């Protein structure tokens, strides 16, 4: 609930309302989130043209329950260690159908279009000429879903390791450099070294460092690349976060800033 994590949310919700692009939004977060949003909207005389539904995450985090689930995704959460209640979130993609063999489908004279999508989902389809095909004929073995973990404000804690186990991507706060370890513990934040240690122990595939202190802005004695190198010394597959960074986990972690 610290300001650098929530101050932008009321404005975003208001902008969504003005655009008329939402029929309703569900918000997941700590218990005080509802009071904060309600107060901001009330005191700014903002009226949303859609409904808001709030979900508290504390029970799911404590009891290790699923926080959210649909046909494609599962979201879990875990308590972290900060000056106020803070949480990590893990998004797991469910098992996906095997890769679709387009060439095989073409060789059978199956026309491209929605029927391909149905076959890829493993469904049985009937063509206009009466032929029936099963998706199982054209798909490889099921593929394990991808996973991403985001650890918000926290000092080094075992719960970060536990929720990050075997994740494809870990986004972890790295507010301080290793030489400010004492300050990190005092203020409930992580160093780049701590983030890398968590990534290594959790055996994740890739680590992204975020939430760097402004004291490391380029031009200062210590800069972001110093924190990056600090983490890479422990966990080589590490990258710095930046505005508009995109990471496609389906493409072996190719990154761009478009």
User: Which residues are catalytically annotated?
Assistant: 4
DSSP 215: G
What whole-number distance in Å separates Cα of residue 234 and Cα of residue 201?
Answer: 10
Distance of CA 246 to the CA centre of its chain: 12
**Strand 52-56 relative to strand 25-29, pairing:** parallel
DSSP string of 107-160, one letter each residue = HTTPPSSHHHHHHHTT-EEE-TTS-EEEGGGTB-S-BPPPEEEEE-S--S-HHH
| Planar angle of CA 32, 155, 235, nearest 5 degrees | 130
- Within 8 A by CB and 6+ apart from 155, the residues are 81, 82, 184, 185, 188, 189, 190, 194
CA atoms within 13 A on the CB side of 77: 20
Token representation of residue 194: 């701590």
């Amino acid at each position: 609930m610290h300001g650098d994590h929530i101050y932008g949310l009321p404005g975003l919700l208001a902008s969504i309302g003005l655009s008329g692009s939402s029929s309703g939004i569900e918000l997941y977060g700590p218990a005080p989130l509802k009071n904060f949003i309600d107060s901001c909207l009330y005191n700014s005389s903002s009226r949303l043209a859609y409904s808001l539904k709030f979900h508290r995450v504390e029970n799911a985090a404590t009891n290790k329950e699923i926080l959210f689930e649909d046909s494609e995704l599962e979201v879990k959460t875990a308590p972290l260690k900060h000056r106020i209640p803070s949480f990590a979130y893990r998004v797991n993609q469910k098992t996906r159908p095997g890769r679709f063999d387009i060439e095989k489908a073409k060789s059978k004279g199956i026309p491209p279009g929605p029927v391909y999508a149905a076959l890829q989902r493993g469904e049985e389809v009937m063509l206009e000429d009466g032929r029936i095909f099963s998706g199982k004929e054209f798909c490889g073995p099921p593929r394990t879903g991808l996973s991403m973990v985001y650890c918000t404000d926290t000092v080094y804690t075992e719960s970060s390791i536990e929720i990050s186990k075997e994740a494809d991507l870990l986004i972890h706060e790295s507010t301080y450099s290793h030489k400010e370890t004492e300050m990190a513990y005092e203020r409930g934040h992580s160093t780049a070294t701590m983030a890398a240690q968590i990534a290594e122990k959790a055996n994740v595939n890739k680590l992204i460092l975020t939430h760097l202190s402004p004291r490391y802005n380029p031009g200062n004695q210590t800069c972001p690349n110093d924190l990056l190198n600090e983490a890479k010394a422990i966990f080589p597959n590490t990258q710095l976060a930046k505005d508009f960074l995109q990471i496609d986990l389906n493409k072996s972690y190719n990154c761009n800033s478009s």
